[in-house]
């Protein structure tokens, strides 16, 4: 096949405008690499064509040349690795994840109750107000990223019949047994299910995800090669960012998360009620407490409430916390009473005769 200058000129506009914020991210690799490969030719007269994103110039040549099979193959490979991900619930966490998905070159479709079209647009993502329109786009992955409390209603409102039968459903809810049972119960049996919990958020993950834990449970993944590969490609998004990948059952996650997560959030929220202030003599420990309040209270109360309502281990944890607090108080007051009793009942010379009182 011979490529000519006129053919280049008539190429359809291959790239959407770049989201400006993405260009500043180190991991963002615009598909300009693909484009420049398409235009890469070894010899002949050179024409300059402006890059569609307005960046540099792309060189194209008039001369006859061999078809670049290697480039085409690697393009196809990149296309195959690219996932079309529909994010259902495009709030705080949905947008946070979308930034990295987009930076890795995945196509994002966003859907939410509120209008987040501006945020979606800034990531080069399409925003949908109607779930039918969203599902008709046939995403590879539907990512449930709505609040724990609204998850069931949101899931039931999706028109599954408009999706491809093999669609992969992933959830990122901070509790795991509840969405697992919900997805198994509500989704048609052909759909794949991957339950995950990125154990970080917009605050703790703002400087990157390296070393942060990502928990997942492959609840139902069909054994055909393409389904296994699609699941792997989704997990690979997090692995590529350096997350610590932890495969764990949903039940085990919830047992651990009650202590790790619910306890942390509860302590942060109790401290917030004290309205702690920064002082000129803050210690390191106190700074940690202030940071904890900031980290936990930047999440919505719905999220915290969901951790309590939908993790059966949380109730027990709250009771243990109360008992621990009571026992600590008893210990302190017990010592105080001992001292007071001594002062009240022991004479100054050490005998146990009661000290006479005026009244
Ligand atoms: P969130 O308060 O738990 O959820 C906010 C999202 O839920 C928004 O997209 C919101 O939609 C949607 N929503 C809330 N009530 C709704 C309703 N009645 N009907 C339809 N949609 C509703 O805050 P989040 O931080 O964004 O968390 C989202 C999910 O990610 C949660 O399941 C959470 O457990 C999980 N997660 C969060 C973090 C984190 O650090 N934040 C970390 C790991 C996992 P609109 O914005 O359109 O109103």
Q: Which of 102, 100, 86 is nearest to 134 (CA)?
A: 86
Q: Specify the pLDDT at position 43.
A: 35
- Joined together, the tokens standing for residue 318 give 């709250």
Q: Specify the pLDDT at position 346.
A: 80
Please report which confidence band the pLDDT of residue 344 belongs to, taking 50, 70 and 90 as the band edges.
confident
Q: 164 CB contacts (<8 Å, ≥6 apart)?
A: 138
> 283-294: per-residue pLDDT in tens?
999 999 999 999
Q: Specify the pLDDT at position 5.
A: 38
Please report which confidence band the pLDDT of residue 34 belongs to, taking 50, 70 and 90 as the band edges.
very low
The residue behind tokens 């959830």 is: 171
Q: Specify the pLDDT at position 48.
A: 41
| CATH H superfamily, domain 82-248 | NAD(P)-binding Rossmann-like Domain (3.40.50.720)
> 100-138: per-residue pLDDT in tens?
999 999 999 999 999 999 999 999 999 999 999 999 999
Q: Specify the pLDDT at position 347.
A: 72
Residue 36 pLDDT > 60: no
105 lines ligand 1 (CB under 6 A): no
Between 317 and 44, whose confidence is greater? 317
Question: Average pLDDT in the 86-105 region?
Answer: 97
The residue behind tokens 């949905």 is: 94
The residue behind tokens 């039968």 is: 165
Q: Which of 277, 273, 250, 266 is nearest to 325 (CA)?
A: 266
Please report which confidence band the pLDDT of residue 9 belongs to, taking 50, 70 and 90 as the band edges.
very low
Distance 177 CA to ligand 1 centre (A): 17
Q: Specify the pLDDT at position 342.
A: 86
Distance 145 CA to ligand 1 centre (A): 6
Pairing type for strands 126-128 and 141-144 reads unpaired
Question: Average pLDDT in the 305-319 region?
Answer: 94
124 lines ligand 1 (CB under 6 A): no
pTM higher than the cut 0.85:
no
Contact between 134 and 111 (Cβ < 8 Å): yes
> 198-219: per-residue pLDDT in tens?
999 998 999 999 999 999 999 9
Q: Which residue's CA is minimally distant from atom 12 of ligand 1?
A: 146
300 lines ligand 1 (CB under 6 A): yes
Ligand 1 probe mutation, 87, 91, 95, most atoms within 8 A of CB = 91
Q: Specify the pLDDT at position 350.
A: 62
Q: Specify the pLDDT at position 359.
A: 47
Alpha helices in the chain (DSSP H): 5-9, 20-23, 32-38, 69-81, 92-103, 117-122, 131-135, 151-156, 177-186, 225-240, 250-257, 263-273, 284-297, 301-309, 312-345
150 lines ligand 1 (CB under 6 A): yes
- Joined together, the tokens standing for residue 59 give 């060189």
3-state secondary structure of 133: helix
Q: Which residue's CA is minimally distant from atom 27 of ligand 1?
A: 93
Q: Specify the pLDDT at position 144.
A: 98
> 160-180: per-residue pLDDT in tens?
999 999 999 999 999 999 999
């Amino acid at each position: 096949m011979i490529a000519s200058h006129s053919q280049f000129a008539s190429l359809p506009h291959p790239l959407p405008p770049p989201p400006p914020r993405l260009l500043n991210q180190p991991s963002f690799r615009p598909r300009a690499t693909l484009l420049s490969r398409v235009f890469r030719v070894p010899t002949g007269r050179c024409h300059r064509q402006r890059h569609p994103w307005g960046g540099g110039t792309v060189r194209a040549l008039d001369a006859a040349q061999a078809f670049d099979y290697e480039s085409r193959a690697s393009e196809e490979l990149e296309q195959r690795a690219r996932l079309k991900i529909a994010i259902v619930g495009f709030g705080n966490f949905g947008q946070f994840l979308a930034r990295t998905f987009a930076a890795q070159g995945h196509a994002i479709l966003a859907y939410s109750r509120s209008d987040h079209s501006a945020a979606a647009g800034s990531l080069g993502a399409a925003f949908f107000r109607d779930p039918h329109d969203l599902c008709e786009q046939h995403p590879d992955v539907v990512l449930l990223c709505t609040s724990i409390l609204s998850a069931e209603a949101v899931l039931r409102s999706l028109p599954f019949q408009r999706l491809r039968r093999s669609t992969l459903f992933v959830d990122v809810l901070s509790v795991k047994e509840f969405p697992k049972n919900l997805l198994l119960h509500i989704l048609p049996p052909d759909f794949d299910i991957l339950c995950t919990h990125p154990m970080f958020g917009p605050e703790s993950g703002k400087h990157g995800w390296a070393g942060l834990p990502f928990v997942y449970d492959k609840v139902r993944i069909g054994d055909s090669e393409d389904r296994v590969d699609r699941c792997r490609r989704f997990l690979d998004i997090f692995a590529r960012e350096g997350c610590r990948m932890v495969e764990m059952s949903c039940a085990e996650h919830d047992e651990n998360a009650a202590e790790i997560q619910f306890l942390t959030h509860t302590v942060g929220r109790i401290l917030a009620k004290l309205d702690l202030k920064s002082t000129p003599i803050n210690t390191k420990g106190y700074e940690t407490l202030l940071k904890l309040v900031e980290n936990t209270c930047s999440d919505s109360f719905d999220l915290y409430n969901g951790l309590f309502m939908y993790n059966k281990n949380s109730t027990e944890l709250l009771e243990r916390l109360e008992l621990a607090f009571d026992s600590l108080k008893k210990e302190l007051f017990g010592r105080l009473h001992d001292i007071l009793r001594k002062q009240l009942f022991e004479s100054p010379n050490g005998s146990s005769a009661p000290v006479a009182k005026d009244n």
